[in-house]
């Protein structure tokens, strides 16, 4: 699987992260072509069903990107996106998905560079994992418990940033 | 009936064509995507010829949907929507996909970039088939404007609009308008007297026929949206009848109760329990501070009532809620001072002769508590050496990362006043000297010449723990002089802390009422930091002055005027268009679970008790779609971002993975290169 | 409440008074301390600058030995506290390093997963876990009239200050006020005592010690309470040398905060280790605390 190019779906919010991607373009920042963007008005619009659908249709990874906590165009809807994200991620990981395949990124409209880096990081991670082989992964993963705990911890830390 | 889709791939000169094989993308789309009847590439789609291409195809080929693969929709969505509209196609049946910023400009591999562009085109094509025609709404703009905050930014905005002939409601929390500027003595760098330039503006506002002023009042509730906001204002009880009071001031004079004035005098002076904050206050009507008035606290006194020649005192007055309607709102709520006790090593509150910048402002002011004399806390001793410490609470990751923008210049102003008024030596302890505006650097040079001492370094501590005999009885400023590369201890008599400007404590709360957001630091977020600095993400709400970020008087005035100009533009246009991208609830499907009700930050979802269903108030919905994705019954539809549209977009964007036959369970085989499977068939 | 207890080497000899008073006070407050079985030296401040990996492994061994039933370890000594905490953080933040340390531990049949044991200082446990009400409840001889200068030193508040302001910590100030003492708010309470500087350059070390004593004296402190054996040693043990060097006449007793707590709780001074300090503290305490002198006479 040397030439494996992962297909990653990126749900980007209209106000911050989509504009961050625009900015990365205007600044001619280079990053891998693996993330394909779907624009939504707000990260809060990302229905968990979209994520499941993406994976079921063959996406190797899904990225959700929104405005930084406290900077949501819709005041606080990215918090709701965040809660959903961690809940969904925990479920998916418990069901055998490698945690690196589903990521949440905050990128303000000024953070083209940061978004590009996040895309590069995620692409590398998913490329290393190879294509999504959920059926084979269903077997017990010794590190799953640790990964789940890590997600809980990450969520707690994210909540701290908010409060 | 199948849709007839037209696809237009832009070269953008070589901007796109240089990295993407646009001919191949257009050819592929025409062959492979279901329902595509026209697929073209063109040098510059946004040119008038490019637009004409689309318009002609709509007319001649009977296109029912249009996809433009070009630059960011934030740049040209309007252009192509207009082109469709011109040819009689509803503008919401046009979809743009971004193959420039998101593909050609960020890619290095032509083949991979072309593949990505194909996926994006497929996504847009699949999506556009599910798009529905939508109509933009219009709202008439009420010509009245609400200005929140009567500091210099708010006053400027008020005057601009009032002078243009439009009615303005001005709400100020304190008993008088004027804001922080009224507290200052001199203004940098020209050193003109703050009161001399501010008070004429204050009285102009106070007397303006187009201005209705509410002082000692706060915004209680805001509903509605651009063009027609409904605002509830709480007029706090003054206990002085506004209409009867002549402002003669005899009540203030006779009031026996003295109170430390922590607001206007920054704790340096006193006021009475019935008071106007300062002599030039507008309005002149005093207020009774019920927490300190002896009548209110102990049931005795009533002196003010006895001496009032017009019987204007009313102890029973209650808060009043006033409702107004306005078309636009300008927020100019300003800033508050950083609490210096949060940096205990600087000794504020513990060491008597450590002052804040606002205390020092009042001390320098001829009308202030010391009559303009610079003296120690004992009220009489003139200091021989004064230290001014910059960046207290600013540019400090432990407190505020930002630069407070005004402190360097204010410190220079203080230095000048010290040298002018006393024989003291004055030291500035700065990290970087920031003097970027007109005539500011010149002022710094002037202070260098006047003999102010400058030490570059962040002060470690201010202490009274003397180590050497000549330090006894002094405050010692311990600092690393980064220019000399050495630790220094400088004994002084007085220390002035240039405390940071911070967002108002209730900025977030007011932001929630108005539907505008704050940055991480707590300042209101403008629509665009460079190109739209006074608008906010909420239409009809504008920001001006320091509530948007620390700024000095000239910048605040400029923003006040800019916000007023934007509002005047709205009023002149008379109406605003409303995006139809909003949510709606299918009552047949709604179970009345009310999960969506609390998700909406705009309270746009109301619950119909009788029918047991929730309903979206269209005028208040901003279209974020959070409720759509939360509805367990799929009863909510987000116009232009419906589940079907996004699902179709997903199918398009993953067309190659689907064609690969590689859904989650199958073992993958990446070697298969899909070529021409019809996407829409999936 | 039960905690693992890491006394550290100092508390076995020169800071025996600290160990005694910690155990007495903990006992009275219902803090159950279970000494780590077979603990070893934390390497103090020096070892880290010699060889980080070995130093960390030596400390991590103690964390690995903590009874798995217990989630927290208490260290009264500031250096021990910091070393244990720093080790846990280093291992948590650097996966490669963590692996190496655990390889070393594996040689002794041990393993430590960073984050499993929370490292706490005694002051922290008393102030946060026990709290004001429970402490006040135990006070039988309020320290009214005694002017106490709290001395925090460096290592408990830096670089991991928790919710304290490292430049001006307040926890011990609060605790002392609960005991009824007059807390001296003097400006150098978190300045350095010099640590091991006495072994390197006496003039430098003496000057650092002098500043602390001078400031406490300027603010009319009757005694200084500290929470670190090194601080106590420098301020108390070197006080005579400092006096000789600067021609000063400091006579400030230096005790541990748990010792003074014990007095307020009415415990036997001998069991609290009073008398082990060089500048005698008990006479000062008896003379200043209202009513205590009379009691002592009986």
pLDDT for residue B658:
85
Q: B623 to chain A: which residues are within 8 Å by CB?
A: 41
Tell which A residues from 79 to 108 touch B, by Cβ distance under 8 Å.
80-81, 84
pLDDT over threshold 50, residue B667: no
Nearest C-alpha in B relative to A75: B517
Q: How far apart are CA B505 and CA C88, in angstroms?
A: 38
In B308-448, beta strands by DSSP E: 320-326, 328-331, 335-337, 354-356, 385-392, 425-430
Nearest C-alpha in B relative to C185: B350
Query: What fold characterizes domain B145-332+528-573?
Result: FAD/NAD(P)-binding domain (3.50.50)
| Sequence ranges of chain B with CATH classification 3.30.70.20 | 583-637
Q: What is the sign of the dihedral through the CA atoms of C87, C89, C91 and C94?
A: negative
pLDDT over threshold 60, residue C181: yes
Confirm if B139 and B185 have CB atoms less than 8 A apart: no
Which CATH entry fits the domain spanning B336-502: 3.30.1490.100, 3.50.50.60, 3.40.50.1820, 3.30.360.10?
A: 3.50.50.60
Report DSSP state, residue B211: E
pLDDT average, residue stretch C58-65: 96
pLDDT-derived band at B681, boundaries 50, 70, 90: very low
pLDDT average, residue stretch B401-429: 97
Q: C168 to chain B: which residues are within 8 Å by CB?
A: 344-345
% of chain B residues with pLDDT over 90: 88
Which region among A20-29, B315-324, B640-649 has the lowest average model confidence (pLDDT)?
A20-29
Confirm if B227 and B141 have CB atoms less than 8 A apart: yes
Q: A24 to chain B: which residues are within 8 Å by CB?
A: 101, 106
Max Cα-Cα span within chain A = 45
Task: Assign 3-class secondary structure to A100-136.
Answer: HHEEEEECCCCCHHHHHHHHHHHHHHHHHHCCCCHHH
Q: Do B649 and A38 lie within an 8 Å CB cutoff?
A: yes
Q: How far apart are CA B459 and CA A21, in angstroms?
A: 41
Task: Count CA within 13 A, CB hemisphere, residue B583.
Answer: 33
Q: Which chains touch B (3 or more CB pairs under 8 A)?
A: A, C
Q: How far apart are CA B34 and CA B30, in angstroms?
A: 8
Q: Does B223 touch chain A (CB under 8 A)?
A: no
Q: What token pair was written down for B324?
A: 């107004």
Q: Do A28 and B100 lie within an 8 Å CB cutoff?
A: no
Which region among A139-143, B48-52, B369-373 has the lowest average model confidence (pLDDT)?
A139-143
Q: How far apart are CA C290 and CA B603, in angstroms?
A: 63
Nearest C-alpha in C relative to B347: C187
| Sequence ranges of chain B with CATH classification 3.40.50 | 5-136+644-659
Q: How far apart are CA B534 and CA B421, in angstroms?
A: 40
pLDDT for residue B680:
47
Q: Helices C52-64 and C95-107 sit at what angle, rounded to 10 degrees?
A: 70
Q: What token pair was written down for B310?
A: 């017009």
The full length of chain C comes to 298
Tens-place pLDDT, residues B96-118: 999 999 999 999 999 999 999 99
Nearest C-alpha in B relative to C213: B465
Confirm if B430 and B403 have CB atoms less than 8 A apart: no
Q: At B615, is the secondary structure helix, strand, or coil?
A: strand
Closest CA to C213 of C240, C183, C195: C240
Nearest C-alpha in C relative to B465: C215
Closest CA to B537 of B518, B555, B510, B558: B518
Q: How far apart are CA A46 and CA A83, in angstroms?
A: 12
3-state SS of chain A: helix, strand, coil percent to 5?
A: 50, 15, 35
Tens-place pLDDT, residues B183-200: 999 999 999 999 999 999
Residue C11 C-alpha, separation from nearest chain B C-alpha, in angstroms = 32
Q: Does B521 touch chain A (CB under 8 A)?
A: no
Q: How far apart are CA C70 and CA B596, in angstroms?
A: 44
| Sequence ranges of chain B with CATH classification 3.50.50.60 | 145-332+528-573, 336-502
- Non-local CB neighbours of C98 within 8 Å, separated by 6+ positions: C90, C91, C92, C114
Q: At B304, is the secondary structure helix, strand, or coil?
A: helix
Confirm if B4 and B63 have CB atoms less than 8 A apart: yes
Q: How far apart are the first and last CA of chain C?
A: 37
Tell which A residues from 112 to 131 touch B, by Cβ distance under 8 Å.
116, 130-131
Residues facing B193 on adjacent strands: B186
- Non-local CB neighbours of B585 within 8 Å, separated by 6+ positions: B596, B605, B613, B614, B615, B616, B631, B635, B636, B637
Report DSSP state, residue B344: G
Report DSSP state, residue B527: S
Class in CATH terms, B583-637: alpha beta
Q: At B392, is the secondary structure helix, strand, or coil?
A: strand
Tens-place pLDDT, residues B223-259: 888 899 999 999 999 999 999 999 999 999 999 999 9
Q: At C220, is the secondary structure helix, strand, or coil?
A: coil
Of B123, B515, B663, the CB nearest to A56: B663
Class in CATH terms, B5-136+644-659: alpha beta
Q: Do A70 and B518 lie within an 8 Å CB cutoff?
A: yes
Tens-place pLDDT, residues A29-77: 999 999 999 999 999 999 999 999 999 999 999 999 999 887 788 888 9
Confirm if B638 and B625 have CB atoms less than 8 A apart: yes
Q: How far apart are CA B567 and CA B327, in angstroms?
A: 9
Torsion of CA A40, A45, A47, A52, to 10 degrees: 30
Q: A33 to chain B: which residues are within 8 Å by CB?
A: 103, 106-107, 109, 112-113, 115-116
Q: How far apart are CA C274 and CA C232, in angstroms?
A: 13
The full length of chain B comes to 682
Residues facing B169 on adjacent strands: B146, B212
Q: Which chains touch C (3 or more CB pairs under 8 A)?
A: B
Q: At which residue do the structure tokens 């500048």 appear?
A: C279
Confirm if B516 and B544 have CB atoms less than 8 A apart: no
The full length of chain A comes to 163
pLDDT-derived band at A140, boundaries 50, 70, 90: low
Closest CA to B388 of B448, B428, B447: B428
Max Cα-Cα span within chain B = 97
pLDDT for residue B307:
96
pLDDT for residue A138:
66
pLDDT over threshold 70, residue C297: no
Tell me what the pLDDT averaged over chain C comes to: 94
DSSP codes joined into one string, B122-167: HHHHHHHHH------EEEEPPS-EEEE--SHHHHHHHHHHHHTT--
pLDDT for residue C138:
96
Confirm if B175 and B276 have CB atoms less than 8 A apart: yes
Give the count of beta carbons closer than 10 Å to the beta carbon of residue C137.
12
Closest CA to B212 of B140, B276, B161: B161
Of B518, B602, B658, the CB nearest to A57: B658
Q: At which residue do the structure tokens 């503290």 appear?
A: C281
Tell me what the pLDDT averaged over chain B comes to: 93
* Residue pairs spanning A and B at CB distance below 8 A: 175
Give the count of beta carbons closer than 10 Å to the beta carbon of residue B4.
18
Q: How far apart are CA B75 and CA B10, in angstroms?
A: 14
- Non-local CB neighbours of A119 within 8 Å, separated by 6+ positions: A8, A10, A31, A32, A34, A35, A63
Q: At B506, is the secondary structure helix, strand, or coil?
A: coil
Residue C221 C-alpha, separation from nearest chain B C-alpha, in angstroms = 14
pLDDT over threshold 90, residue B422: yes
Tens-place pLDDT, residues B1-14: 799 999 999 999 99
CATH numbers and ranges of domains, chain C = 2-121 (1.20.1050.140), 140-297 (3.40.50.11810)
Confirm if B159 and B208 have CB atoms less than 8 A apart: yes
pLDDT average, residue stretch B620-642: 94
Confirm if C28 and C272 have CB atoms less than 8 A apart: no
Q: How far apart are CA B240 and CA B242, in angstroms?
A: 6
Q: A68 to chain B: which residues are within 8 Å by CB?
A: 520
Phi first, then psi: what are they for B170, rounded to 5°? Answer: -115, 120
> From residue B336, how far is each of B170, B199, B390, B503, B517 by CA, in Å?
20, 21, 17, 6, 18
For chain A, the C-alpha Rg in angstroms (whole number) is 15
Residue C122 C-alpha, separation from nearest chain B C-alpha, in angstroms = 24
Report DSSP state, residue A45: G
Q: How far apart are CA C55 and CA C5, in angstroms?
A: 20
pLDDT over threshold 50, residue B582: yes
Residue B467 C-alpha, separation from nearest chain C C-alpha, in angstroms = 7
Instruction: Provide ipTM, 2 decimals.
Output: 0.95
pLDDT for residue A108:
85
Q: Do C187 and B343 lie within an 8 Å CB cutoff?
A: no
CATH numbers and ranges of domains, chain A = 8-162 (3.40.50)
Q: How far apart are CA C199 and CA C180, in angstroms?
A: 38
Confirm if B331 and B146 have CB atoms less than 8 A apart: no
Tell which A residues from 138 to 157 touch B, by Cβ distance under 8 Å.
none
């Amino acid at each position: 699987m040397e030439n494996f190019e992962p297909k990653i779906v990126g749900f980007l919010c209209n106000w911050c992260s989509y504009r961050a991607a625009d900015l990365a373009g205007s600044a001619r920042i280079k990053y891998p072509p693996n993330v394909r963007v779907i624009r939504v008005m707000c990260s809060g619009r990302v229905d968990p069903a979209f994520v499941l659908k993406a994976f079921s249709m063959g996406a190797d990874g899904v990225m959700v990107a929104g405005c930084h906590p406290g900077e949501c165009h819709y005041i606080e809807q990215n918090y709701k996106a965040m809660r959903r994200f961690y809940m969904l991620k925990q479920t998916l990981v418990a069901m055998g998905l490698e945690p690196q395949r589903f990521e949440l990124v905050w990128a303000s409209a000024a953070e083209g560079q940061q978004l590009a880096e996040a895309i590069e990081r995620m692409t590398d991670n998913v490329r290393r994992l190879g294509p999504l082989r959920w059926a084979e992964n269903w077997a017990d993963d010794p590190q799953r418990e640790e990964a789940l705990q890590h997600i809980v911890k990450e969520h707690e830390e994210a909540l701290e940033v908010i409060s | 009936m199948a849709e007839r889709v037209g696809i237009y791939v832009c070269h953008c000169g070589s901007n796109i064509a240089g990295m993407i094989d646009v001919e191949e993308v257009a050819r592929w789309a025409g062959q492979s995507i279901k329902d595509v009847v026209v697929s073209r590439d063109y040098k510059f789609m946004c040119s008038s010829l490019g637009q004409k291409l689309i318009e002609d195809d709509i007319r001649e080929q009977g296109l029912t949907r249009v996809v433009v693969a070009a630059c960011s929709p934030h740049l040209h969505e309007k252009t192509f929507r207009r082109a469709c509209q011109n040819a009689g196609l509803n503008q919401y049946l046009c979809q743009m996909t971004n193959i420039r910023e998101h593909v050609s400009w960020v890619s290095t591999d032509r083949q991979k970039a072309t593949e990505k562009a194909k996926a994006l085109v497929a996504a847009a094509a699949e999506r556009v088939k599910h798009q529905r025609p939508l109509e933009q709404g219009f709202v008439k703009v009420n010509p009245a404007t609400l200005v929140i905050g009567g500091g210099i930014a708010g006053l400027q905005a008020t005057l601009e609009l009032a002078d243009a002939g439009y009615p303005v409601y001005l709400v100020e929390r304190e008993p008088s308008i004027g804001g922080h500027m009224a507290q200052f003595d001199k203004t940098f760098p020209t050193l003109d007297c703050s009161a001399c330039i501010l008070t004429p503006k204050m009285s102009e506002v106070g007397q303006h026929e187009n201005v209705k002023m509410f002082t000692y009042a706060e915004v209680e509730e805001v509903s509605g949206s651009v063009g027609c906001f409904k605002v509830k204002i709480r007029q706090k009880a003054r206990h002085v009848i506004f209409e009867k009071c002549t402002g003669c001031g005899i009540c203030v004079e006779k009031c026996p109760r003295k109170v430390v004035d922590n607001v206007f005098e920054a704790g340096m002076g006193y006021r009475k329990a019935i008071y106007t904050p300062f002599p030039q206050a507008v309005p002149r009507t005093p207020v009774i501070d019920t927490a300190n008035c002896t009548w209110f606290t102990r049931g005795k006194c009533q002196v003010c009532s006895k001496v009032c020649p017009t019987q204007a005192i009313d102890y029973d007055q209650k808060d009043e809620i006033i409702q107004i309607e306005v078309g636009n709102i300008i927020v100019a709520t300003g800033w508050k001072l950083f609490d210096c006790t949060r940096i205990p090593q600087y000794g504020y509150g513990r060491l008597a002769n450590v002052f804040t910048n606002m205390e020092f402002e009042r001390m320098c002011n001829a009308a202030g508590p010391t009559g303009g004399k610079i003296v120690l806390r004992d009220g009489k001793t003139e200091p021989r050496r004064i230290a001014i410490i910059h960046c207290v609470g600013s540019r400090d990751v432990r407190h505020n990362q930002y630069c407070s923008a005004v402190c360097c210049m204010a410190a220079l102003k203080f230095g000048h006043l010290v040298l002018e008024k006393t024989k003291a030596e004055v030291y500035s302890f700065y990290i970087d000297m920031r003097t970027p505006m007109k005539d500011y650097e010149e002022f710094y040079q002037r202070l260098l010449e006047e003999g102010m001492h400058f030490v570059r370094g962040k002060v470690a501590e201010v202490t009274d723990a003397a180590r050497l005999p000549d330090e006894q009885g002094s405050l010692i400023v311990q600092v690393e002089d980064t220019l000399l590369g050495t630790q220094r201890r400088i004994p002084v008599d007085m220390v002035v802390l240039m405390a940071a400007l911070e967002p108002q404590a209730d900025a977030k709360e007011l932001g929630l009422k108005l539907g505008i957001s704050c940055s991480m630091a707590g300042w209101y977020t403008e629509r665009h930091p460079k190109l739209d600095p006074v608008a906010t993400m909420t239409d009809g709400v504008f920001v001006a002055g320091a509530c948007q970020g620390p700024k000095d008087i000239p910048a605040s005035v400029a923003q006040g005027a800019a916000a007023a100009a934007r509002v005047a533009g709205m009023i002149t246009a008379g109406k605003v268009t409303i995006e139809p991208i909003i949510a709606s609830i299918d009552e047949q499907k709604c179970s009345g679970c009310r999960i969506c009700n609390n998700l909406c930050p705009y309270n746009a979802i109301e619950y119909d008790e009788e029918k047991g269903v929730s309903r979206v108030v269209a005028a208040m919905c901003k279209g974020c779609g959070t409720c759509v994705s939360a509805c367990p019954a799929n009863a909510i539809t987000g116009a232009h971002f419906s589940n079907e549209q996004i699902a179709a977009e997903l199918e398009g964007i993953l067309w190659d993975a689907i064609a690969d036959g590689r859904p989650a369970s199958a073992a993958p085989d990446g070697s298969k290169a899909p070529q021409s499977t019809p996407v829409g068939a999936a | 409440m039960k905690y693992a207890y890491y006394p550290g080497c100092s508390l076995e000899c020169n800071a025996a008074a600290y160990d005694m008073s910690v155990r007495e006070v903990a006992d009275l407050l219902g803090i159950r301390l279970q000494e780590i079985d077979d603990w070893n030296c934390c390497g103090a401040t020096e070892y880290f600058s010699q060889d980080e990996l070995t130093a960390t492994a030596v400390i991590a061994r103690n964390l690995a030995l903590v009874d798995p039933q217990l989630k927290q370890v208490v260290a009264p000594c500031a250096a021990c506290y910091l070393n244990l905490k720093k080790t846990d953080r280093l291992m948590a933040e650097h996966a490669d390093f963590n692996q190496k340390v655990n390889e070393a531990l594996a040689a002794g049949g041990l393993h430590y997963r960073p984050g499993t044991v929370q490292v706490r200082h005694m002051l922290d446990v008393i102030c946060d876990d026990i709290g004001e009400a429970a402490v006040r409840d135990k006070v039988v001889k309020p320290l009214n009239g005694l002017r106490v200068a709290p001395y925090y030193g460096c290592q408990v508040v830096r670089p991991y200050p928790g919710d304290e302001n490292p430049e001006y910590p307040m926890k011990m100030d609060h605790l002392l006020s609960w005991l009824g003492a007059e807390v001296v708010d003097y400006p150098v309470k978190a300045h350095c005592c010099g640590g091991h500087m006495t072994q390197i350059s006496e003039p430098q070390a003496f000057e650092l010690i002098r500043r602390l004593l001078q400031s406490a004296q300027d603010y009319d402190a009757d005694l200084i309470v500290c929470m670190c054996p090194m601080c106590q040693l420098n301020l108390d043990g070197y006080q005579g040398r400092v006096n000789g060097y600067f021609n000063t006449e400091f006579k400030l007793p230096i005790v541990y905060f748990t010792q003074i707590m014990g007095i307020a709780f009415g415990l036997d001074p001998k069991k609290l280790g009073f008398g082990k300090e060089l500048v005698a503290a008990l006479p000062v305490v008896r003379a200043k605390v209202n009513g205590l002198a009379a009691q002592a006479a009986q």
